[in-house]
């Protein structure tokens, strides 16, 4: 996962509410630290310091939980469920 993809993922989770306090704090902290660097150094810094651990500990488990929740909702109602009602 590239740094920009991680930022996009964090923004999507912030919008849909599919994350917890730990994930929100981690995303915020990582983005704040990486954004302090000049833009041409960010990707490398992200890869060397955060990519593997962040994806394994935060992104993948959160995505797995989202799939489980969406799947259980579909089983109960027979249709794709949305996070928030209209």
Q: pTM to 2 decimals? A: 0.77
| Cα dist from 64 to 36, 43, 71, whole Å | 31, 25, 11
All structural domains of the chain with their residue ranges? 3-77
Extract the tokens encoding 44: 């490398």
Q: What is the dihedral sign for C-alpha 57, 48, 45, 12?
A: negative
Q: What share of the chain is helix, strand, coil (3-state, %, to 5)?
A: 80, 0, 20
> Looking at residue 86, what is its pLDDT?
38
What pLDDT digit, counting tens, does each position of 41-59 carry?
A: 999 999 999 999 999 999 9
């Amino acid at each position: 996962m590239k740094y920009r993809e991680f930022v996009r993922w964090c923004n999507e989770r912030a919008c849909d509410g599919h994350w917890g306090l730990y994930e929100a704090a981690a995303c915020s902290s990582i983005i704040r630290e990486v954004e302090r660097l000049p833009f041409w150094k960010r990707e490398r810094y992200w890869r060397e310091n955060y990519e593997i651990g962040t994806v394994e500990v935060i992104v993948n488990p959160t995505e797995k939980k989202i799939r489980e929740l969406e799947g259980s909702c579909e089983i109960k109602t027979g249709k794709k469920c949305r996070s928030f009602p209209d």
